[in-house]
Structure 1
Amino acid sequence: MRVLLTGMSGTGKSSALEELARRGHRTVDTDTDEWSEWLTDPEGQPDWVWREAPMRALLTGGEAGGPLFMGGCKSNQGRFYALFDRVVLLSAPAEVLGYLETVQPLLRAGADAELDSGRLSVAELADALEALAPEA
């Protein structure tokens, strides 16, 4: 089971991943140089995107026991949605987010579940994510 936690900055992706790791789950925060890199988009702007070869290798590799929870929000993540069993959008109140009107609708369109991290504690988020990714 491969679960992507996505959402805009400030929605609790990293906190949820930390709690899931504390509970013994495999987690990957893709907001590192290991998983992401700066490229130039078609408009000539810098874009922090997933490194496609390592990401594809991770997502197509064999199951190493239990669910894999990954966190990230990159412009090229939609290319990988078919490799995830679940795509979960973490949302939060507008006052803590930027680009709410432009980015979140794109994320919502690709998600198959949404959790409101503004109303749930980190532990409650982890509980809900565990329920979405039962052990095989």
Structure 2
Amino acid sequence: MVRVLVTGMSGAGKSTLLEELARRGRLTVDTDYDGWELPGAVWDEARMSELLDRHGDVVVSGTVENQGRFYGRFEHVVLLSAPVGVLVERAATRTNNPYGHSAEQRAEIRQYVVDVEPLLRRGATVELDGRLPVGELADAIEKLR
């Protein structure tokens, strides 16, 4: 394995994919949790730099404004994508993250697909369909070199 960033819209399946990779014994960091994000939807840059300095074999997930500053530290930036209807439905019904439960948040997700996802696509080295079974997605990540 190598350093991989998995990014994408809310509801794309990033956390589920990381859970599967962790179950397989991979080092993973889901930056939606444990204080990785600072106010303003940005990563704690010192903490992220330290993580990447210490680990050459890690899968990180997140979608934040300053992630592009780290693209050169990852061998692959994987965009996990899905149709907007799938994203909204998943976000509205998930139990592991409250974001997407309100109508306002679902409207934000729809707008982010228009405004943010194209930027993520431009920075990605690989795009995977988040509707695929999680095992297939994990296999694809594990094959990256």
Deviations 1:54-101 (A, max 9, x none): 0011112253xxx31110000110001001111000000121342211
- Aligned partner (choices 115, 123, 141) of residue 110 of structure 1: 123
CA distance in 2, matches of 1:33, 1:111: 25
CA distance in 2, matches of 1:60, 1:68: 11
CA distance in 2, matches of 1:62, 1:106: 27
**Code of the aligned partner of 1:126:** A
**Code of the aligned partner of 1:60:** D
Q: Show the 5 A alignment for 1:35-114.
A: 35-38=36-39, 47-63=40-56, 67-97=57-87, 98=109, 99-114=112-127
TM-score with structure 1 setting the length: 0.84
Residue of structure 1 equivalent to 2:103: none
CA distance in 1, matches of 2:35, 2:54: 17
Please tell me whether residue 13 in structure 1 is matched to residue 3 in structure 2.
no
Residue of structure 2 equivalent to 1:127: 139
Instruction: Tell me: CA distance 1:100–1:62, structure 2 relative to 1, closer, same or farther (3 Å).
Output: closer
Q: After TM superposition, give the deviation of residue 130 of structure 1 in Å.
A: 0.6
TM-score with structure 2 setting the length: 0.79
Unpaired stretches in structure 1, ≥5 consecutive residues: 39-46
Residue of structure 2 equivalent to 1:29: 30
**Comparing both structures, which one devotes a greater share of its residues to strand?**
1
Unpaired stretches in structure 2, ≥5 consecutive residues: 88-108
User: Among the aligned pairs, what percent are the same residue?
Assistant: 58
**Code of the aligned partner of 1:95:** G
CA distance in 2, matches of 1:61, 1:19: 22
RMSD: 1.2
**Comparing both structures, which one devotes a greater share of its residues to helix?**
2
